[in-house]
């Protein structure tokens, strides 16, 4: 008995895009790596925006207590302080290296 695995529609499209030079093999490898369970890194800006949205959400809900909202503010403040420390450290290192 002869059995052959037929390529999926996605595999055919990838092969065509690779052949035409539209897609690079590294792009496909990166997409496969991400789809295998690795999560993409979330930027500080996106994380900060998500925390601010969560804080606003809590402020609009009756079930949220003042402690809940204060907790979110503290997390946002700690993130902001961490970013500022990192900026100061980078500036100091740049100053020393000049």
pLDDT in tens, 26-82: 555 555 555 555 677 888 888 888 899 989 998 998 988 999 889 999 999 998 998
Q: How far apart are the C-alpha atoms of 55 and 70, rounded to whole Å?
A: 9
Sequence spans of domains, the chain: 8-40, 44-97
Q: What is the pTM of this model?
A: 0.51
pLDDT digits (tens, 9 = 90+) for 82-98: 888 877 777 767 667 76
Handedness of CA 75, 80, 84, 87 (dihedral sign): positive
Structure tokens at 80: 């902001």
């Amino acid at each position: 008995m002869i059995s052959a695995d037929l390529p999926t529609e996605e595999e055919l499209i990838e092969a065509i895009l690779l052949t035409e030079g539209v897609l690079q093999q590294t792009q496909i490898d990166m997409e496969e790596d991400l789809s295998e369970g690795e999560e993409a890194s979330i930027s500080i800006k996106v994380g900060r925006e998500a925390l601010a949205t969560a804080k606003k959400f809590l402020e609009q809900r009756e079930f949220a207590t003042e402690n809940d909202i204060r907790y979110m503010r503290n997390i946002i403040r700690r993130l902001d302080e961490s970013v500022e420390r990192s900026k100061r450290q980078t500036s100091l290192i740049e100053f020393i290296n000049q």
